[in-house]
Amino acid sequence: VCPHKVAGMSNSRAEHFWKRRARILCLRHNAAVWLSGWLPVVLMSAVAAACGILFLRQHEASLDIVWKGLVGILVVGAVAVLLVRRKAYFQMSDGLVRLDAILKLNSRLTAAEAGVGAWPEPVSAVRDRWQWRWDRVLWQVVAAAVLVYAATLVPIPGMAAIPPKPQMPPVAWTEVETWIDTLKNEEVVEPDSLENLRGQLDALRRQEPEAWYDHASLEAGDNLHAETTQAIRDLQQNLQAAADQASKLIASSDQGISDHELQAISQSLSGALQNMASGRLPLNAELLKKLQKMDPKSLKPMSAEQLAQLKQQLQQGSGACKKCLGDGQGGEMMTLQEGPLHAGKGGLGGGGGPAPLTAKPPTDLHTTTTDTVSNDDISRALPGEVVALSTGAHSVEKTAPAAVEGGRVADPGQGGEAVWKNSLTPQERETVARFFQ
C-alpha cells in the first residue's frame, strides 16, 4: 500500500470528523441566538391573546380569531427573528475557531481548512463547553401558556352564564308534528300537503339547538302552528257541513224534499267541496271524488247505503280534526255541554254544586233569507256605534269666492271669530309664559 494513499485516507477521515463537530457547535449556537429573540415574541403574543380572549368573552363572541391570530403571529415572528439575527449566526469557520480555542490546537483546524497543514487526529471527547439554561427558556414558554389558559377561565363580572343546549323543541313544533301523524294515519288529508307541512317543520328543526328558542325561530314556529290550526279547523267545519248535507240527502231519499231545500243543500255542499279542495290542507282525493258524486238534484248516482257510508267517512275525518284541535275551538274558555251538569255537595257553606252550563241544540229555520234588525231607542248607544244610515246629496256652493291677494283673507270674521282663543290650564299658562313674552 502506498504511504501517501494511507495518509490521504486518514486526513480525509479527520477532516470529516472535525467539520461534523463544527456543524454541531454552530447549530447549538444558532439555536440559542434564535430562541433568545423569539421567546420574547411568544410572551408578548400571549399577553395580546389573553387581552383578546377577555374582550371577546365579555362580548360573548367566538374565540377562533384569537387562536388563528396567535398562530400567525408566532409563525411570522419566528421567520422575522430568523432573518434579523442572521449576522449573529456561526459559520463553519467560526465553529473551527471555537474548537481551536477550546481544545488548544493552536489554530491547526483553521489552518487545515485554509489548506495549510494536515487535519489533527480525531479525539474521543470534543465538547463546546456550552450548557443550556433551561430555566431561562422554559419560564417564558410556561408563563405564556398559563397566561392564555387563565384568560379562558377567569370569571368576568356581569357575564351571563352560557345556557345549556335545549334538549326539547318548542311545544308548538311538537303539536304540529303530532297533528301531521294523526291526519296521515286517518288518511284525511292529501299526503303531498302533509309532506310539505312536515318539510317546513323540519326546516325549523335543522337549526342549531341554541337557535330553537330565538325570537325569529319562535315567531316562525308560532306562525306555522297558527296557520295549521286554522287549516285543520276549516277542514273540520267543511267536513261536518258535508256530513250534515249527507244526512239531509239520506232523509230525503225516504220522504220528499222541496226544491228550495234542495237548492240550499246544493249551495252548502258546493261551498264545502270548494273549500276542501283548495284549502291549505286539501281533502283526500278519493274521498273528494265521492263527495263530488253527491248531486242533490239527482239522487240516482249514489244509493242510501253509499250515502250512509260516505257520511260515516266524513264524520271520521271530522273526528280526526277534532282530535288534533282538542275539545276547545280557538280560544274558548270552556265547552258548553248539551245536558245539565249533576249537582254536587259543594264546598263550605253549601251551594249545591256548580251552576248548569247547558246549550240548546241549534234550531234549523229552513231558510237562507236574512232580515234586518232595527232599534229606535238610542239611549243605550255606545260611542262610535252606528246609529243610522241615510242617503242624500252634497250641498254645493255655486257662487265662486272672490279673488284676493296672497296672505289676505276675504272675510275678516265677526264677533269671536276675529280672535283666536284657547283654554289653557294654569300649568300650561305658566309653561307658555316661560317661553313667550
Contacts by residues 152-156 (CB-CB < 8 Å, ≥ 24 positions apart): 152/53, 152/57, 152/63, 154/54, 156/54, 156/57, 156/58
CA distances from 132 to 94, 129, 145 (A): 20, 10, 21
Q: Give the ranges where 154-257 is alpha helix by DSSP (H).
A: 171-186, 191-205, 215-254
The position carrying cell 417564558 is 140
CA distance 100 to 110: 8
242, with CB counted inside 10 A (0-12, 13-18, 19+), is buried
- pLDDT score for 366: 65
Distance CA 296, CA 55 (A): 77
For 99, phi then psi, to 5°, come to -65, -40
Question: Nearest 5 degrees, angle CA 155-CA 161-CA 162?
Answer: 120
Q: How far is CA 303 from the centre of its chain?
A: 55
The dihedral sign for the CA sequence 191, 197, 200, 205:
negative
Look at residue 122 in the predicted model and tell me its pLDDT: 81
> Which pLDDT does position 328 carry in this prediction?
47
Which parts of the chain sit beneath pLDDT 50? 1-9, 299-300, 328-344, 347, 418
pLDDT at 421: 60
* 3-class SS of residue 282: coil
Output the pLDDT for position 204: 86
CA 122, CA 17: separation in Å to the nearest integer? 7
What pLDDT sits at residue 299?
A: 47
pTM of the shown model: 0.41
Residues, the chain: 437
Which amino acid, one-letter code, is at 270?
Answer: S
Report whether 275 contacts 238 (CB < 8 A): yes
The pLDDT of residue 376: 67
Round to whole Å and give the CA distance between 155 and 162. 12
